[in-house]
Amino acid sequence: MQANHFSYDRIGVSYTSTRTSDPVLQAQIHQHLAGARNLVNIGAGSGSYEPENIPVVAVEPSATMISQRKPGKAPAVRGVASALPFADAAFSTSLSILTVHHWKERQTAFSEISRVVSGQAVFVTWDPESTGFWLTQDYFPELLDIDRPKFPKLDEFRESFSAIEVFPMLIPHNCVDGFLGAYWRRPHFYLDEVVRAGMSTFAEVKNPGQALSRLAADLETGRWHERNAAMLDATELDLGYRLIVADLGADHA
C-alpha cells in the first residue's frame, strides 16, 4: 500500500506476512467505491483493499512490493503519484491507502489525481494532529516526531481539492492489517521484529531495544495492563486514522 521505492525495496521483503486487508476497514473503504466504473490504486503495494468487482490498475514504484502481488491481482504499473502515466479522466475513482505521506511531490501528485480521475479520490491517512496512543506516548515518542512532519494535515487536502469529506476510521481490536496502530489492544505484537518490519516508521527508529525492553517488562509485571485498563474492553479505537473522499466532479464540469 505504500509508495516509496527508496524504503520499500529495502524493508518490504516480508511485507505481506503482516499486512493484508482487514475486513472491517475494507467494508468502510469499499462503501465509498460504490458506483465506480474503474479505479487506479496509487501506491498500491501488494494490493490490499483493491476491489474485485471493477477494473483496477495499480501504480507502485517498488519492484519488491509488486513482486508480492498475488496471482489474479490487478495489473501493476511501476510509477509514482506525481507522474501518472494515464490520459486525462482515464478513471472514475482513485484509491490511496496509507501512502500519501511517502509522496515527495505531494502537490503535484494531487494535481495528477485531479487530472486522471473524473469522480472521487479516496484516501486513507493519519491525522498528524492526533495525540497518538500508548505506544507513542509511553515507549516510542520518536514515532510521532518521525510521522508528524510527513503526514499531510487535513487542511492540505482541503486546499488541494474543491470538496472533501473526512470520516474517522476506528481501528478494530483484532485488526489483521499490521500497520502501526493495529495492535493497540495486543501489545505483545510490537515485540515481534517481523511485525515491526511491516511498519515503515519503525525502520527509522535507530535504537528500539531499550523501549522494547521496557514494554516487555511492563507486560510481564502487569504494569502495562494497569496503565491501560480503561481501554481493554473496547472493541474499536480512534487512533487518528482518517478516510478522506474528494469529489473531483466539480473540477471536470
pLDDT band at 12 (very low <50, low <70, confident <90, very high): very low
Q: pLDDT at position 15, please?
A: 53
Segment 66-75, tens digit of pLDDT: 988 888 899 9
Averaged pLDDT, 173-190: 97
Question: In sequence order, what DSSP letters do the residues of 143-194 get, joined into one string?
Answer: HHHHHTTTSPPHHHHHHHSS-EEEEE-PEETT--S-STTTTTT-GGGGG-HH
Q: Which domains does the chain have, with CATH numbers?
A: 5-252 (3.40.50.150)
Give residue for cell 495528477.
Answer: 112
Q: pLDDT at position 48, please?
A: 93
Segment 126-174, tens digit of pLDDT: 999 999 999 999 999 999 999 999 999 999 999 999 999 999 999 999 9
Look at residue 2 and tell me whether its pLDDT is greater than 50: no
Q: pLDDT at position 105, please?
A: 94
